[in-house]
Amino acid sequence: MPKPTSRPARASGRAASAPGLVSLVGAGPGDPGLITVRGLERLRRADVVIYDHLANPRLLDEAPPGAERIYVGKQAGRHALPQEEINRLLAKQAAGGRRVVRLKGGDPFVFGRGGEECLHLAEQHVPFEVVPGVTAAIAASAYAGIPVTHRGLTTSLALVTGHEEPGKEESTLPWQALAGGIGTIAFYMGVKTLPRIVEQLVAHGLAPDTPAAVIERGTLPGQRTAVGTLATLVETVARAGIRPPALTIVGRVVELRSRLAWFDARPLFGRRVLVTRSRTQASTLAERLEELGAEPVLFPTVRIEPPASWAALDRAVGRLAEFDWVVLSSANGVESLLARLRAAGKDARAFGGARIAAVGPGTAEALRAGGLAADLVPRDAVAESLAAALADDARAGKGFLLAQADRARPVLAEALGRAGGKVTRVVAYRIVLERGDRAAARKLIAGPLDALTFASSQTVRNFVQIVGLKAAREAARRGSVFSIGPITSATCRELGLSVAAEASEHTIPGLIATVLAAF
């Protein structure tokens, strides 16, 4: 991990004092997907990231593992680090040519004190740049189904701070102008001061029946929106228990929400769903759940690694055409086999007359992606069905290559062997337990949990092993367990996790459909 260099500030050599670059990057309002391409690129090559509490912590994962991460966040009334010290820190961290990313919620220049930071850097002759971000007023409104401007409803938009010095007698806000002529007004930092905001607007002539909304945690899975009019908003917000960060939108555009709400209208909105696939496999499941509005809780229980040695697989790849059947029981197996084929400078012709069996649609899809069509895919994507489908050929003494995980269940190899088949089993990849720290893993599942998804027996076992049996059962009681198929369900039950529903199609889309049907 690159530590800050301890070179003297005014070293005589030119290189030693050459300052790096400070990038003020807007992290966007919360949804990590709303950072800009440039912002993400800066984050990915950062030497140090200095961040606030509003920047989504998931974005920090994008910085290189060795990058230093410094939290300087502020929360209402509680300054983690005074602004002057943040300013100095930025300049100091840039010394020695380091690439500093100053990650800020929303846009750095919209109520983000980015201007002050830049002024200090300019004074110190430290090069800086600004990567704008999607500011909360625009983004939270958009996710609440409220266009901040709309033809025929409003011609102007004001971004206003609702946070004024407490006890200040005279308001410095231009209430007359706001109430008298702005179509849409967005108040930042105004939950506590909402009664005063409403009072001032009405006192300066805005009609009490003007539509208004408060959006809490906009663009995040926990987004909540309270809608009313200036006359009712304070009470509605109090009743809903809205808390910061939240944004107030005042104007006729708020009416559009009743027709345009989309984000919180998604079928799995607000559901926390545990995803326990391997780190590399989790993305499709998590992405799809997210599209459906769920908050995927990524619990990487296993990781796919190469076998201890490629020798056995390479030998098998060298004589593929000698087998009657090449049997693949996972997409990982396919990828591994094809990678070794390529490494040997060969292509699909190496299969010769060998036929190819895939345990299920996911495996068949991976074959297709590699330019190969499976000759056999059993109706149930389980090893038992595959064994049954191959039983006749096994009895005829045919040769089978099984490219599998190191921890694959032995059923297929045993069944084919017992029937008389000549079985060659090679390890195509290893399933490695994530050595997650138990406390961190428990914390991950400690919050509300609506569903737990398991896409293999192994992930069930690993999940239990990592969090412990008691915590696993407790989590399964709080949320519903969804399994990809009968074997995984059996493993769940064996470990005392009762299964709420099992996918009828034993694939990831099948698993998602089952979760969807349950909610």
Q: Which residues are catalytic?
A: 52, 74
The answer to the question of residue 32 lying near ligand SAH (CB under 6 A) is no
The answer to the question of residue 359 lying near ligand SAH (CB under 6 A) is no
Q: Which of 193, 219, 332, 459 binds ligand SAH (CB under 6 A)?
A: 219
- Give me 332's structure tokens: 């990982």
Judged by CB, which is closer to ligand SAH: 227, or 460? 227
The answer to the question of residue 197 lying near ligand SAH (CB under 6 A) is no
Helix axes 457-467, 486-494, angle to 10 degrees: 30
Q: What's the closest the beta carbon of residue 46 comes to ligand SAH, in angstroms?
A: 19
Stretch that binds ligand SAH, among 40-48, 216-224, 275-283, 349-357 (CB under 6 A): 216-224
Contact 246, 188 (CB under 8 A): no
Query: Distance between CA 265 and CA 225 in Å, rounded?
Result: 12
Judged by CB, which is closer to ligand SAH: 107, or 450? 107
Query: Distance between CA 375 and CA 328 in Å, rounded?
Result: 11
- Give me 272's structure tokens: 């926390």
Binding mask 254-283 for ligand SAH (x = CB under 6 A): ------------------------------
Q: Which of 34, 86, 136, 144 binds ligand SAH (CB under 6 A)?
A: 136
Stretch that binds ligand SAH, among 104-112, 293-301, 303-311, 460-468 (CB under 6 A): 104-112
Judged by CB, which is closer to ligand SAH: 125, or 168? 168
Q: Which of 111, 128, 299, 400 binds ligand SAH (CB under 6 A)?
A: 111
Instruction: Give the burial string for 387-403 (b: 16+ CB within 10 Å, else e).
Output: beebbebbeeebbbbbb
Q: Which of 43, 50, 54, 445 binds ligand SAH (CB under 6 A)?
A: 54
Tell me 225's DSSP state: E
Q: What's the closest the beta carbon of residue 117 comes to ligand SAH, in angstroms?
A: 12
- Give me 26's structure tokens: 């807007």
Q: Which of 20, 30, 221, 251 binds ligand SAH (CB under 6 A)?
A: 30
Q: Which of 19, 32, 145, 218 binds ligand SAH (CB under 6 A)?
A: 218
Is 29 strand, coil or helix? Answer: coil
The answer to the question of residue 316 lying near ligand SAH (CB under 6 A) is no
Q: What's the closest the beta carbon of residue 52 comes to ligand SAH, in angstroms?
A: 8
- Number of residues near ligand SAH (by CB under 6 A): 24
Q: What's the closest the beta carbon of residue 25 comes to ligand SAH, in angstroms?
A: 11
Is 195 strand, coil or helix? Answer: helix
DSSP for 355-421, please give it: EEEESSHHHHHHHHHTT---SB--SS-SHHHHHHHHHHHHHTT-EEEEEEETT--SHHHHHHHHHT-
Q: What's the closest the beta carbon of residue 26 comes to ligand SAH, in angstroms?
A: 7
Order the strands of the 295-298 sheet from edge to edge: 295-298, 272-275, 451-454, 480-483, 499-502
Q: What's the closest the beta carbon of residue 6 comes to ligand SAH, in angstroms?
A: 33
- Side chain identity at 406, as an amino acid letter? D
Q: What's the closest the beta carbon of residue 168 comes to ligand SAH, in angstroms?
A: 18
The answer to the question of residue 39 lying near ligand SAH (CB under 6 A) is no
Q: Which of 215, 289, 381, 419 binds ligand SAH (CB under 6 A)?
A: 215
Closest to 354 measured CA to CA, from 320, 312, 398, 329: 320
Burial class (CB in 10 A: 0-12, 13-18, 19+), 211: buried
Q: Are strands 451-454 and 272-275 parallel, antiparallel or unpaired?
A: parallel
Judged by CB, which is closer to ligand SAH: 132, or 318? 132
The answer to the question of residue 508 lying near ligand SAH (CB under 6 A) is no
Residue nearest to ligand SAH (CB): 106
Query: Which residue carries 């190469």 as its tokens?
Result: 306
The answer to the question of residue 217 lying near ligand SAH (CB under 6 A) is yes
- Give me 54's structure tokens: 């509003």
Judged by CB, which is closer to ligand SAH: 19, or 245? 245
The answer to the question of residue 107 lying near ligand SAH (CB under 6 A) is yes
Query: Distance between CA 511 and CA 378 in Å, rounded?
Result: 18
Judged by CB, which is closer to ligand SAH: 148, or 484? 148
Judged by CB, which is closer to ligand SAH: 56, or 385? 56
Contact 325, 393 (CB under 8 A): yes
List residues bridging with 304 in a β-sheet: 431
Name the residues that contact ligand SAH, by CB under 6 A: 29-30, 54, 104-107, 110-112, 135-136, 140, 188-189, 215, 217-220, 244-247
